[in-house]
């Protein structure tokens, strides 16, 4: 039977602040649920019961409903008739579509960043890249901090190109991919080359648009075959577990 996600929530006091406006409250609920989904605290397919979530967060069901709608627009949750809301399940089609979309956004961001970013912005990116590479070399594939740093590096790179909408869309794609891949990285983890993100910043600092785009394309595609294989293994294991559960229920 699918479990209902009602895990403990550490920011309940902040969410229940009486002075918070409804829009701000909805935003806080949205950001908190989004973080929990992206970081793997909810499993793909987990039901998200509005009243249960509202009780856990210390808010009425209304801001939860509004937050879930925002998360549905992000592609992180889905609503189904006669079922309610749930975390969007894992599918190969969704992952492959988001990988193609991410590649298109990242490569364009790299070109624009190499062309428009200031020297100060690239220096800041280099510092962030060094910290990120050091953490990735430590070898913890499930590090919540590491995954957040990874997302922030690529979003900041996109912000440095001067087009905010591009960065916003990239954040949405990254969030969906992180949510899905968090559940398969424990199966396989392909270690990245040393100074992986610093090498990318070096290409941006060269101000060569073609080299920046080509470098980003190689960066995005690295490990994609490994991710697909891990996802297929995860889905195969899930199907076997579900079949076993159904057999017990009918036994």
DSSP string, the chain: -PPB-----TTHHHHT-TT--HHHHHHHHHHHHHHHHHTTSS-TT-B--HHHHHHHHTS-HHHHHHHHHHHHHTTSEEEETTTEEEEPPP-HHHHHHHHHHHHHHHHHHHHHHHHH--HHHHHHHHHHHHHHHHHHHTT-TT-HHHHHHHHHHHHHHHHHTT-HHHHHHHHHHHHHHHHHHTTTTTT---PPPTTHHHHHHHHHHTT-HHHHHHHHHHHHHTTHHHHHHHHHHHHHHHHHHHHHHHHHHT-
**pLDDT over 50 at 12, yes or no:** no
**pLDDT over 60 at 249, yes or no:** no
| Dihedral sign from CA coordinates of 160, 148, 88, 85 | negative
* Angle at 22 (CA atoms; ends 60, 20), nearest 5 degrees: 100
Whole-number percent of the chain with pLDDT over 90: 48
Least confident of 29-33, 37-41, 155-159, 222-226: 222-226
**pLDDT over 90 at 157, yes or no:** yes
Q: What is the DSSP string of 219-246?
A: HHHTTHHHHHHHHHHHHHHHHHHHHHHH
pLDDT for the residue numbered 241:
57
Domains within the chain, CATH numbers bracketed = 12-87 (1.10.10.10), 92-233 (1.20.120.530)
**pLDDT bucket at 134, cuts 50 / 70 / 90:** confident
**pLDDT over 70 at 220, yes or no:** yes
CA dihedral 7, 12, 14, 20 (to 10 degrees): 110
The model's pLDDT over 192-207, given as tens digits with 9 standing for 90+, comes to 788 999 999 999 999 9
**pLDDT over 60 at 45, yes or no:** yes
**pLDDT over 70 at 245, yes or no:** no
**pLDDT bucket at 114, cuts 50 / 70 / 90:** very high
Let me know: does 196 contact 219? Beta carbons within 8 Å: yes
Let me know: does 187 contact 233? Beta carbons within 8 Å: yes
């Amino acid at each position: 039977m699918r479990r209902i996600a009602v895990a403990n929530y550490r920011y309940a006091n902040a969410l229940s602040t009486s002075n918070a406006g409804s829009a701000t409250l909805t935003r806080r609920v949205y950001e908190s649920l989004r973080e929990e989904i992206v970081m793997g605290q909810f499993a793909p397919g987990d039901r998200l019961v509005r009243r249960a979530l509202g009780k856990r967060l210390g808010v009425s069901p209304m801001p939860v409903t509004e937050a879930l709608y925002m998360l549905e627009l992000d592609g992180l949750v889905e609503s189904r008739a006669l079922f309610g809301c749930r975390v969007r399940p894992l599918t190969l089609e969704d992952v492959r579509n988001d990988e193609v979309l991410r590649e298109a956004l990242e490569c364009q961001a790299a070109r624009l960043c190499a062309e428009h970013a200031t020297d100060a912005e690239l220096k800041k990116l280099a510092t962030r890249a060094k910290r990120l590479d050091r953490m990735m070399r430590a070898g913890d594939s499930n590090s919540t901090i590491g995954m957040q740093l990874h997302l922030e590096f690529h979003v900041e790179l996109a912000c440095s190109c001067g087009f905010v909408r591009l960065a916003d869309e990239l954040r949405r794609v990254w969030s969906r991919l992180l949510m899905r891949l968090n559940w398969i990285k424990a199966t396989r983890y392909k270690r990245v080359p040393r100074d992986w993100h610093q090498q990318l910043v070096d290409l941006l600092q060269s101000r060569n648009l073609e080299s920046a785009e080509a470098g980003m394309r190689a960066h995005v595609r690295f490990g994609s075959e490994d991710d697909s294989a891990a996802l297929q293994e995860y889905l195969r294991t899930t199907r076997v577990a579900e079949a076993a559960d159904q057999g017990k229920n009918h036994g």
